[in-house]
Structure 1
Amino acid sequence: MKYYLKALQNYATFSGRARRSEFWYFTLYNTIFVFIAIMIDVAIGKATQEKEFIPIIYMLYILFVLVPCFSVFVRRIHDVGKSGWFILIAAIPIAGPIWLWVLMATNGDVGKNKYGVDPKEIS
């Protein structure tokens, strides 16, 4: 949970580097909170018997974490020595997202790189 909160504290910090654990724990908790928001929306929709279901809790949560999600993603890309613009590689069908997720699982550069000091050295 500390990595999720750390990513939220670095809300719009696109400089620096993020460890694999920071990125993956943020992703894990984010996924859990998305499912909780969806379940709350479904419960509200069933209770009100509305025909047009609008997932308002889910949409508010997504808006809340949109910028922190991109910032932790960019900082993780920096950790492997790539530019933050490398996130656009996900636009390539099939291979782009797969390659990007492989990069997210790759160990970061040891020592200092052009994006900052190794986060493992700091903690």
Structure 2
Amino acid sequence: MSFGTAVRTCLRNYATFSGRASRPEYWWFALFVVLGSIALSLLDGALFGYEPVRVAPGVVEYQSPSVLSGVFSLAMILPILAAGWRRMHDSGRSGLHLIYPLIVMVGIGTFAAFAEGLDPLLTGGPGAIFDNAATLILGLASIVFFLSPLLVIWWLTRPSEPGPNRFGPNPLEQAQ
């Protein structure tokens, strides 16, 4: 699949979360989104100029309003999610695997809020034990959170399942 074909296919399937997407289809489209964001950021700077922003004493950054790149990124959220969802289907996984880091983040936040809410109730000996256990659990969960995007990228790079699977026919075999 060529770059142009992949972009057309993904934009045609803008919000289609069923079916399968081959590796070239997903990665060419991901490259299109990255290159489009960079190009539109440069165009934003050319059209709207750069303004100096003091970020620290003696440190100035030049920033441009990201109007065009922001609109492009917002418009591409749904198709890149749909393409990733279909890519997971192609490797035999549920599309929910794509949002695994988000699920981990929500779990960590929920546990942290729960642990913080119990803190006033547990004072003294049991509270110290609970605080240490909660810190250990949050530390381990943070490691899982930082590794989870790498796991998702690895899943996105896995080869297609040969032949049809529960999500549909193999898109590479179908094109031949």
Same fold, TM-score > 0.5, yes or no: yes
Q: Determine the C-alpha separation between the residues in 1 that align with 2:8 and 2:69.
A: 19
Runs of 4+ in 1 over 2 A off after TM superposition: 49-54
Per-residue CA deviations over 1:10-67 (Å, capped at 9, x if unaligned) read: 01110000000000100111111110011011112327x6978421101110121111
Q: Determine the C-alpha separation between the residues in 1 that align with 2:68 and 2:153.
A: 28
Output the amino acid matched with 2:8: L
Output the amino acid matched with 1:102: W
**Is 2:3 the counterpart of 1:23?**
no
Q: Determine the C-alpha separation between the residues in 2 that align with 1:109 and 1:76.
A: 11
Per-residue CA deviations over 1:64-84 (Å, capped at 9, x if unaligned) read: 111111100000000111111
Q: Determine the C-alpha separation between the residues in 2 that align with 1:84 and 1:66.
A: 15
Q: Is the 8 A contact 2:45 2:65 kept in 1?
A: no
Unaligned runs of 5+ in 2: 54-62, 105-144
Residue in 1 that maps onto 2:87: 76
Identity of aligned residues (%): 26
Q: Determine the C-alpha separation between the residues in 2 that align with 1:70 and 1:86.
A: 11
Sort the Cα spacing of 1:38 and 1:60 in 2 relative to 1 into closer, same or farther, 3 A. Answer: same
Output the amino acid matched with 1:61: F
Higher strand share: 2
**Is 2:70 the counterpart of 1:59?**
yes
Per-residue CA deviations over 1:85-116 (Å, capped at 9, x if unaligned) read: 11121234221110111111110111111100
Q: Is the 8 A contact 2:20 2:89 kept in 1?
A: yes
Output the amino acid matched with 1:75: R
TM-score for both structures, normalised by structure 2: 0.65
Residue in 2 that maps onto 1:120: 172
Q: Using the TM superposition, name which of 84-93 and 60-69 deviates more.
A: 84-93
Indicate the RMSD between aligned Cα atoms, in angstroms. 1.8
**Is 2:137 the counterpart of 1:108?**
no
Sort the Cα spacing of 1:58 and 1:118 in 2 relative to 1 into closer, same or farther, 3 A. Answer: same
Tell me: higher relative CO, structure 1 or 2? Use CA pairs within 8 A at least 6 residues apart: 1
Q: Could you say which structure has the larger radius of gyration?
A: 2
